Amino acid sequence: MAVIYNTVTVASTATLIIPSNPGRRMFVIYNNGSNIVYIGPDANVTTSNGIPILQQSSFTQNGSRMWMGAWYGITVSSTSDTRYMDYNE
């Protein structure tokens, strides 16, 4: 199993966190910053419709119904250091 990982600075405009990956088996998004990061499956994510990841918390998905597409994030203001690990076949 291969692992792709990276750090992304999520801002107050929709920011790509993880690109789409048809070979994805599991992923983790970790909010290492001091602001809440709201995530969603496209660039239309907002702080009103996104899934919140609190500071020093993570969001994980795996299994047969996992989203293989991209994940975006946004903050209310400022930026947040966000990290991900994307596990592949």
CA 88 – CA 73 distance, rounded (Å): 21
| pLDDT score recorded for residue 74 | 98
Domain ranges of the chain: 2-88
User: In sequence order, what E strands does the chain have?
Assistant: 2-10, 15-18, 24-31, 37-40, 51-53, 57-62, 71-74, 80-88
Fold annotation for 2-88: Jelly Rolls (2.60.120)
User: 24-79: per-residue pLDDT in tens?
Assistant: 999 999 999 999 999 999 999 999 999 999 999 999 999 888 999 999 999 999 99
Query: Residue 19: what residue type?
Result: P
